[in-house]
Amino acid sequence: MIAYDSADKTIRAYEIKRGNGQFDAGKIRSIRRDLMCVQVLLKSYGDLASVAPVAAESRIIFYYGTRSLPRPWSLIKNELDIHFDYAITEKVEQANAYFKERLHALLDAA
């Protein structure tokens, strides 16, 4: 996910993982490498997208709380509302409930 904050002119990229368990060392290295590459390229991407960011940040969200990378590179569910200054977890949980209900309806119909 990519977000641009026009108030502080910062472009941010987020990789979103469930965060329900740990990754092995190779996967952690791969995630870290990808995160750093995005961080390096993100400002240029913002320039090409005509938003002219003054800063760029890359983070990974481990939604259910099991961090595989330390702060400040990672966020968990309980930090999202503060990070985005918006009640985002409520919206995510509403979407989760909707799709869970739909999935159960499909399974019950089968």
> For residue 91, how many C-alpha atoms fall within 13 Å in the half-sphere facing its CB?
6
Evaluated on CA atoms 81, 3, 54, 67, the torsion sign reads: positive
* Position 98 in a domain: no
Structural domain harbouring 31? 2-85
Number of compact structural domains in the chain: 1
CA 52 to chain centre: 22
In this model, does residue 110 exceed pLDDT 90?
no
Tell me the backbone φ, ψ of residue 13, rounded to 5 degrees. -115, 140
pLDDT digits (tens, 9 = 90+) for 58-103: 999 999 999 999 999 999 999 999 999 999 999 999 999 999 999 9
In a domain, 47, yes or no: yes
What's the pLDDT at 22? 85
Query: 4-43 pLDDT, tens per residue?
Result: 999 999 999 999 999 888 889 999 999 999 999 999 999 9
Within-domain flag for 91: no
Question: Has residue 63 been placed in a domain?
Answer: yes
pLDDT score of 19: 86
Q: In what order do the strands lie in the sheet with 74-76?
A: 2-5, 10-17, 55-62, 74-76
Global model pTM greater than 0.75:
yes
Distance (Å, whole) CA 103 – CA 108: 9
- Amino acid at position 41, single letter: L
